[in-house]
Amino acid sequence: MSLFAARMGKSLFRRASEGASGIWDGADCRFGNAPWVLPANAMLATGNGWFTLDQLRSGDKVLTFDNGFQEITDIAEIPARVVTENCPPAFWPRRIPAGTLGLDRAISVMPGQGVMVESDLAEALCRDPFAVVAASALDGFAGIEPAEPAPESVLYSLSFAEDQLVYVNGGLLLLIKTAARSPLEAATGPVETGYHVQPPAIARQLVADLATV
């Protein structure tokens, strides 16, 4: 297990174990904000076809939006039960139905997961027709909604040498942030190297614009 995965799992297991008498408010729910945690059945494009995350290993190369095929630098399994126990609905994964945003098959992603959208308004506001918004900003659009996580499911942390937008389950583009690469970086969070998630106010405008198309 990677340093990141071990650190995240240990912290969240402790949080989920506190106050066993009730549901906590999710104030320190890193799981909901970790953009690089995906379900095991998420399919990524490789030079040999589509493979699920549980079939991929460090060193494998997958197709990215801007940089061709890029090597996975770290991939680790995380039992969902460790990081979802007592998590309030606001921090549940968002289920994106098939046929939405280029998806061939439905997928559930974390509320903080960066999702690429394309719109004329994005070009006007961000000077680029492509923009990344948090999955939670898509609530209510095209049937996207919170979905209670199955405790027996398996998740994977995934990272590259630099931030990448990867193709998942067809044409959906998800932002994968770089994992921390040193004890200092591990203490301060993931490295910012390129793409960023739009702030909530802009994200809401972009999603509202998508709904009118």
Between 32 and 123, residue with greater pLDDT: 123
Cα–Cα dist 205/118, whole Å: 12
Euclidean distance between CA atoms 128 and 125, whole angstroms: 8
Closest CA to 65 of 128, 5, 112: 128
Instruction: Quote the pLDDT of residue 84.
Output: 63
Domain ranges of the chain: 37-211
What is the pLDDT at residue 92? Answer: 85
> Kind and range of the H or E element at 182?
none
AA letter at 123: E
pTM of the model: 0.79
**Which of 35, 17, 25 shows the shortest CA–CA distance to 90?**
25
Q: Which CATH superfamily is domain 37-211 in?
A: Hedgehog/Intein (Hint) domain (2.170.16.10)
DSSP string, 34-73: -TTEEETT-EEEETTEEEEGGG--TT-EEEBSSSSEEE--
Q: How many CA atoms lie within 13 A of 34 on its CB side?
A: 27
Q: What is the pLDDT of residue 80?
A: 75
In this prediction, residue 179 carries a pLDDT of 61
pLDDT at 191 over 60: no
Which 8-state DSSP code applies to residue 148? P
d(CA 158, CA 35): 9
- Asked if pLDDT for residue 194 goes beyond 90, the answer is no
The per-residue pLDDT of the chain, averaged, comes to: 79
Q: List all residues 6 or more positions away from 80 whose beta carbon is below 8 Å from its beta carbon.
A: 149, 150, 151, 152, 153, 154, 155
For residues 72 and 198, give the distance between their C-alpha atoms in angstroms, rounded to a whole number: 25
pLDDT digits (tens, 9 = 90+) for 129-179: 999 999 999 999 999 999 988 777 888 988 899 999 999 999 999 999 876
Query: How buried is residue 131: exposed, middle or buried, by Cβ count under 10 Å (0-12/13-18/19+)?
Result: buried
Instruction: Give the lowest-confidence range in 26-35, 85-94, 107-116.
Output: 26-35
At 17 the pLDDT is 33
List the single range of 67-71, 75-79, 86-90, 121-125 with lowest mean pLDDT: 86-90
pLDDT tens for each residue of 93-120: 899 999 999 999 999 998 889 999 998 9
